[in-house]
Amino acid sequence: MASILTIFTGLICAAASHPSTSGPWLYLFDVLRWPVDGDPATFSADTRAVNAVLGGVMVGWGLLMFFLSQRKYMTAIKELPRLMMTALLAWFVVDCSGSLLAGLPGNLVLNVLFLVMFIPPLLVLSRETMRRI
């Protein structure tokens, strides 16, 4: 479920690379910058380019997490849950730090929600993998 939500979020982000399809992503940024006041009203051309790249990265990351989280891979490679957890925590630290530096502290809430969606299944799979060793 977390991987599917990541892919969906990435698609919304990528759609914001064009002004006519940027509404949902603009609204999210408005919420994250609180209060909801219609700011930002548009994205600059540079930001639209970043949205395209970020959306692609999120879709790819979501797909990778989805494929790797299949039980057959998790149980075949005993280190995989730990490696995925390390990568997830690295994303969290870098994304949260960048969000604070960019003046977007509301993104930390969104990041925590994503982290909470991914960690419990990884912990369960990690425990199952350790029991089979």
> How far apart are alpha carbons 7 and 59 in whole angstroms?
4
85: amino acid identity, one letter: M
Q: How many CB atoms lie within 10 A of CB 108?
A: 16
> 106 with 53, same domain?
no
DSSP for 90-118, please give it: HHHHHHHHHHHHTT-THHHHHHHHHHHHH
Of the candidates 65, 76, 61, 63, the residue with the CA atom closest to the CA atom of residue 128: 76
Per-residue model confidence as pLDDT tens digits over 5-18: 999 999 999 999 99
Q: What pLDDT is stored for residue 133 in this prediction?
A: 59
- Indicate the range of 10-19, 70-79, 98-107 predicted with least confidence: 70-79
Q: Are residues 61 and 75 in the same domain?
A: no
Greater confidence (21 vs 133) lies with 21
Looking at 19, 36, 68, the residue that finishes a domain is 68
**Does residue 51 share a domain with residue 36?**
yes
Q: Which residue has the higher pLDDT, 32 or 128?
A: 32
Query: Given 18, 40, 68, which residue is the final one in a domain?
Result: 68
Q: What single letter denotes the amino acid at residue 131?
A: R
Whole-number Å distance between alpha carbons of 17 and 13: 7
Residues 62 and 79 placed together within one structural domain of the fold: no
Which pLDDT band, with edges at 50, 70 and 90, does 80 fall under? Answer: confident
Same domain, yes or no, for 2 and 58? yes
Containing structural domain, residue 28? 1-68
Peptide bond into 19 cis (omega under 30): no
Structural domains counted in the chain: 2
pLDDT band at 128, cuts 50/70/90? confident
